[in-house]
Structure 1
Amino acid sequence: MVNTKWEDCPIDKYCVWTDANYVTNFVSLAVGVGSHDGPHRNSVSSLFNFRNASVYFYKGANYSGEVKIVPPPTTANHKNWANLWGTGWNDIIRSSKPSK
């Protein structure tokens, strides 16, 4: 496994990992992804929003299905979603996009 941390997510991007607690197969994104493919297809287990705006994560491809809005980091939520297990969002995210 690759040892990473939420701080590895670049400022002004949002990031997803295939394992909980920001480990393995890390990708940083600045634009929407209509279909998370490759190692991130239905396998996102942690995410972090380092943007100044919210990011929308969808259970369906092409921004469809149930949506989870992840706000920008604050003191209270700076770790955002380190472990999606038990939240109903583990290994099920199919698309994502930042707000404005």
Structure 2
Amino acid sequence: PEKRVIPVFITTVHHIGEEIVGAVEAYPDKEIIFLITACEMTLQMFGDWGNMVKVKGIGVRLDGQICNTMKAFVASEFGVKPGMAVVLDDTQKRVLELIELRRDSGAD
């Protein structure tokens, strides 16, 4: 997995787009897939980036008191987080199952 995975910590929805476009340009002969955890607003906006560059992946909605208003979303884009963001236990279990399935499939 270390050779096939590039972990990226994103700060804004624009940074997500930059990273995906950069990966597509850097690895034109590879299938680019993503797994992203973010608030619902970011996931919706990121969907546009993913569709534009034709990448596939999974967006996992974070729970907690984050991005529950447009004002909170804008603040989060500047690093101000109104509350704790969490991946719920059931969601975490499903994500890990999907990662295991992908790994065990031998997909490259």
Q: Which has the higher helix share?
A: 2
Which of structures 1 and 2 has the larger relative contact order (alpha carbons within 8 angstroms, sep 6+)? 1
Rg comparison, structure with higher value: 2
Relative to the length of structure 2, the TM-score reads 0.36
**What's the TM-score, normalizing by structure 1?**
0.38
Structure having the higher strand fraction is: 1
